[in-house]
């Protein structure tokens, strides 16, 4: 069984984030990987488009650049 990760998010914060359309837990996971908040939010907006096949090639490349630490430096 996998270990539960404590991201320091209260239930209230999580629900407020969902009401605003943001998955706070996913945001915290991306930030824990070293991705700045603004880029984490950007990649979170791209992911659903990739899943449903509506992402442009530019969005796919941008998402990959954000997720790759060596390429992320070119964006920041």
- What is the tens place of the pLDDT at every residue in 8-61? 888 999 999 999 999 999 999 999 999 999 999 999 999 999 999 999 999 999
Please give the structure tokens belonging to residue 64.
Answer: 């990959």
In a domain, 65, yes or no: yes
d(CA 75, CA 36) in angstroms, rounded, equals 11
Selected residue with higher pLDDT from 3 and 75: 75
In a domain, 4, yes or no: no
In a domain, 32, yes or no: yes
User: For 63-73, what is the mean pLDDT?
Assistant: 91
d(CA 46, CA 56) in angstroms, rounded, equals 9
pLDDT at 9: 87
d(CA 62, CA 65) in angstroms, rounded, equals 5
Please give the structure tokens belonging to residue 12.
Answer: 């209230």
pTM (whole model) above 0.85? no
In a domain, 35, yes or no: yes
Of residues 63, 67, 57, 33, the one with CA closest to residue 45: 63
Selected residue with higher pLDDT from 64 and 3: 64
């Amino acid at each position: 069984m996998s270990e539960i990760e404590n991201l320091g998010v209260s239930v209230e914060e999580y629900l407020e984030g969902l009401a605003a359309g943001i998955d706070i837990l996913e945001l915290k996971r991306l930030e824990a990987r070293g991705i700045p908040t603004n880029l984490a939010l950007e990649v979170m907006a791209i992911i659903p488009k990739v899943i449903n096949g509506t992402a442009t090639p530019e969005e796919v490349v941008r998402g990959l650049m954000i997720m790759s630490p060596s390429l992320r430096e070119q964006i920041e």
